[in-house]
Amino acid sequence: MNLHLVAAPLIAAVNPMMVVGIGVSVGYTTNPDATRSPKYASPGAITASIAGTLMTVTAIGSGVLQLGQTLDDTDGGVSLGGGLLPGTMITGYESGSGGIGTYDVSQSQTVAAEAMTTGMALYAQMQPLAGNDLRHVDMINLQGSHKVAYINGELRGGVRVTVRGGDLLTLPNGSQWLVTQVLEPWGLTAGWTKALVTLQDTTGMPPPSPSIAGQLDYSIPGNPLLTPLT
């Protein structure tokens, strides 16, 4: 049972839901000087065309394509190619598995090959740490500025054996928060997650677009996106 979905509307009376950009960690990239930088699936940049509900991706500029990502072909309200329906998102894999290939999208349309961007956003509630959370942070000797994020979906912290860092949340004010530890991992069973997040550099990814969050509400019954983020 998604207890967060039950309590969220009541909590929202004093702590409104916000649109949070989700950067799913997919490992790291090695820089020319041999240092490593975190790599996230979104935001990303691709070149693709769409015929019906089949998208053909011919180039990947950045990022990794995943289920639930929303596509956009605008730049500050100015069309980069035109024709892409608002709220179009990736709903299935065909020949593609994150890179060049074909994918299913949510809306039938015809779009000639053009530049597109990818993003992922969900509704979340950010809260200060409660007493138990503060004691947990003190026990692991974690320093910095922290919050707790409740989200309808799955978030992941660092996984050493797969060389993955924690997922990255971008708030509407542009601040970025790293998932330091998942406190209540109910994403796979009940559809929600409680995570401890730590403030990072406040520059980087732009704030998420409010227009795409409704397309990515994992709490909607029957939503095909209620699956593990890979």
Look at residue 227 in the predicted model and tell me its pLDDT: 41
Using alpha carbons, select from 84, 62, 88, 59 the residue that is nearest to residue 73.
84
Element (H, E) at 6: helix 3-11
Local structure of 65: helix, strand or coil: coil
Backbone angles phi, psi at 8, to 5 degrees: -55, -45
- Higher model confidence: residue 64 or residue 204? 64
Each residue's pLDDT tens digit, 68-105? 888 988 654 444 455 788 888 999 999 999 999 999 99
**Percent of the residues in the chain that have a pLDDT greater than 90, as a whole number:** 22
How buried is residue 71: exposed, middle or buried, by Cβ count under 10 Å (0-12/13-18/19+)?
Answer: buried
Q: Which one is the CATH code of 3-32+121-216: 1.10.520, 1.10.10, 2.40.10, 3.30.2010? A: 2.40.10
Is residue 148 within 8 A of residue 128, CB to CB? The reply is: yes
**Percent of the residues in the chain that have a pLDDT greater than 70, as a whole number:** 76
Each residue's pLDDT tens digit, 209-225? 544 444 444 444 444 44
Look at residue 2 in the predicted model and tell me its pLDDT: 65
- Higher model confidence: residue 192 or residue 141? 192
pLDDT at 62 over 60: yes
Look at residue 92 in the predicted model and tell me its pLDDT: 93
Look at residue 124 in the predicted model and tell me its pLDDT: 86
Give the Cα separation of 133 and 123 in Å (integer): 22
- Domains of the chain, by residue range, sit at 3-32+121-216, 42-119
pLDDT at 142 over 80: no
Each residue's pLDDT tens digit, 116-134? 999 888 888 888 887 777 7
Residues 6+ apart with CB under 8 A from 193: 149, 150, 151, 153, 154, 155, 182, 184, 185, 186, 187
Whole-model pTM: value is 0.71
- Higher model confidence: residue 180 or residue 79? 180
Residue given tokens 């949070």 in the structure block: 20
